Amino acid sequence: MRLASFKSDLTAGHTTGSPVTDNAYWLLKVNADYILSLAPGQATPVLTWPAPAPIAFGTALSAAQLNATATGVGSGALAGNFSYTPAAGTVLQPGAAQALSVVFTPTDRTGYTTAGASVTIAVRYTTAAGHRFLQPVNTPPQNRSVFQLGSTVPVKFQLFRADGVTPVTTAVANLQVNKVSNGAPDPVNETVYSTVPDQGIRFRYAGSQYVFNLGTRTLAIGTYRLTALLDDGSTIVQDIELRGN
């Protein structure tokens, strides 16, 4: 941007193209004149990166998730290089908020600085029945399971990688049992199981399934909510009833 022109009798010491005082102004020689020009400072690119939708465990990162864009002064698109961490092709571990970051290096390094951004992505397991428990715990549209008080309730589910076939055998899941009402209005409709109950709250992997045999001898008649808390941040939830003979 041209601000002013001066004849060649300017004070000596400011040579053509050299900075004057605070490095913001430059003297440029045009024919016999010197032009005082403003060299604007570097602008910072504006990065836009929408939070990616959750992906299934086993899905490699791609342009579907690594899709940040950069704009400059006047909201115009900026050319440059996007460097992502983790890089495309990476398979993330399960988790509710896995970190993704990017550093953008503009092609125009004179006018723009580098810029960075970060987002998180949820990496979920794929379950056999749409994030549901397996039999004998009924799920909609089936009628709610009603177990006889004192019997064992086998709580089971399966987990897979993104292909829906390869089993996940190393997940960590805990069972949470909460009473939601004292009523159990429906008749017993499930087999009376006498399997030895599991201790603690941790599901174990056995026979391609995650299993927890819930003992009910210490519980009371009522409706209970079973919640499997998975280490990918998701839950599997279903209500059951317990009632006497």
- Taking residues 43-64, report their average pLDDT: 96
Tell me which residue of 155, 149, 154 sits closest to 216, measured CA to CA. Answer: 149
Query: How high is the mean pLDDT of the chain?
Result: 86
Q: How far is CA 185 from CA 6, 135, 143, 178, 188, in A?
A: 96, 21, 12, 18, 10
How does residue 66 score in pLDDT terms, banded at 50, 70 and 90? very high
* Most confident region among 20-24, 88-92, 126-130, 161-165 by mean pLDDT: 88-92
CATH 2.60.40 fits 46-124, yes or no: yes
| 46-124 and 127-243 agree in CATH topology | yes
Per-residue pLDDT at 1 exceeds 80 = no
The position carrying tokens 């399960």 is: 94
Find the angle CA(18)-CA(9)-CA(16) to the nearest 5 degrees. 15
- Taking residues 169-173, report their average pLDDT: 96
Gap between the Cα atoms of 172 and 155, Å rounded: 15
CATH 2.60.40.1930 fits 127-243, yes or no: yes
Q: How far is CA 214 from CA 22, 36, 164, 227, in A?
A: 75, 83, 27, 12
- Taking residues 211-232, report their average pLDDT: 97
Residue type, 168: V
Per-residue pLDDT at 37 exceeds 50 = no
Per-residue pLDDT at 4 exceeds 50 = no
- In this prediction, residue 128 carries a pLDDT of 66
User: Residues 56-74, buried b or exposed e (16+ Cβ, 10 A)?
Assistant: bbbbebeeebbebebebee
Q: What is the chain's length?
A: 245
Per-residue pLDDT at 18 exceeds 50 = no
Q: Give me the residue spans of the domains in the chain.
A: 2-38, 46-124, 127-243
Helix, coil or strand: residue 3: strand
Q: Rg of the Cα trace of the chain?
A: 32
Per-residue pLDDT at 22 exceeds 80 = no
| Percent with pLDDT over 70 in the chain | 82
Q: What is the pTM of this model?
A: 0.74
Per-residue pLDDT at 120 exceeds 80 = yes
Tell me which residue of 93, 87, 207 sits closest to 156, measured CA to CA. Answer: 207
